[in-house]
A = this chain, B = another copy of it.
Amino acid sequence: MGTVGIIGLGLIGGSFGLALKRAKLADTTVIGHDRDNRRAERARDAGAIDRIAASQTDLAREADLVVLATPILPMRRILEEIASHLKRGAVVTDTASTKKSVMTWARDSLPDHVHFIGGHPMAGKEKSGPEAAEETLFDNRPYVVIPSVNASEASVNAIFGLAELLGGRPMFMEAEEHDAYAAAISHLPLVASVALFSMAHGSQAWPELANLAGPGFHDLTRLASGRPEMAHDISLTNRDNITHWIDRYIDELLRLRELVDRRGDEDENLFRTFVETQLARDAFVANPPVRQIPGMAVDMPTPNDSLVALLAGGYAAERMREVTENMESDIRDRQQERLRHRSD
């Protein structure tokens, strides 16, 4: 049907490829490129991509859908470099953990005939590289979809459908909104985790502390084992939101410190805080959001029409519609016919 090109073949790019393969889209080729060609080879050997593109511009020339799955900061340069090589009507998406910067870079770099839709599959683990990739990584995870102003409705629907196809729970959001929420629920935990480990490790008592460390310390510091590039790029592209949430976190720590430090009467408030937090968290854990697919008993969604159209070259038709407004109805009819033909 078409070609998907993944740039960056680490944990996320590799999992993207594997999840796409799991969906078994007919006649779809997945190509990939990585700055580190050995990593690209490992991703190919793991089955995440069918073939390695010799360069990212080669990939851009061939792909109907381009997925950026590198660390965040390099995406700026990549967008600039692939811009003039992208096919007319191509759809470009990304997987960055912060969205405002990438949306700006895409707007500044990409030509009008390309549709950029930001994406953030909110999944990950502390291991990196294509060896750590899993076809189930996105299953039931939030997948934030952020259309650029100029993206066509069909391209937006295609990415929304793709997010579902990968197993995720797609949801639309503004870039600013995403970055504010992600700072609280994802980036602050990362900073809190790094701070806890570096504090303990920096202590003179570290040998004794390490010897006594249990599953609690292990879990709370897990995020500190993530890729430093990721933490760094997130911090730089979401500075203000992150510092805001660090401040709120410190306020909350000081509130608890006060409760711990006071004597007598305050014990009740401390106990009440622990009880309320436990109840709230247990309720949260007991009712995790899950993807609802109406009328479907099986796990695997079928690709939506927009995704089919994208990979079927429907985008070429759509692009023409943008050029010649008066041909619009004709093309639509043809497109419909083609889809009808295909579903026969």
Give the interface segment out of A14-22, A54-62, A219-227, A310-318: A219-227
- Per the bound structure, the CA–CA distance linking A260 and B217 in Å amounts to 24
| A221–chain B nearest beta-carbon distance, Å | 6
In the complex, A77 has a CB within 8 A of chain B: no
CB distance B209 to A185 under 8 Å?
Answer: yes
In the complex, A196 has a CB within 8 A of chain B: yes
CB distance A142 to B211 under 8 Å?
Answer: yes
Inter-chain contacts of A194 with B (CB < 8 A): 256, 273-274, 277
Neighbour of A228 across the interface among B171, B239, B249, B275, CB < 8 A: B275
Contact-residue size bin, chain A (C-beta under 8 Å from the other chain): 35 or more
Binary interface profile of A, 142-168, with partner B (CB < 8 Å = 1, else 0)? 101000000000000000000000000
Number of copies: 2
In the complex, A327 has a CB within 8 A of chain B: no
CB distance B253 to A250 under 8 Å?
Answer: yes
Inter-chain contacts of A332 with B (CB < 8 A): none
- Per the bound structure, the CA–CA distance linking A282 and B201 in Å amounts to 12
Instruction: Give A194-216 interface residues, CB cut-off 8 Å to B.
Output: 194-203, 205, 208-216
Q: Which A residues form the contact surface with B (CB < 8 A)?
A: 122-125, 141-142, 144, 171, 177, 180-182, 184-186, 188-203, 205, 208-229, 231-232, 235-236, 239, 242-243, 246-257, 259-261, 267, 270-271, 273-278, 280-282, 284-285, 289
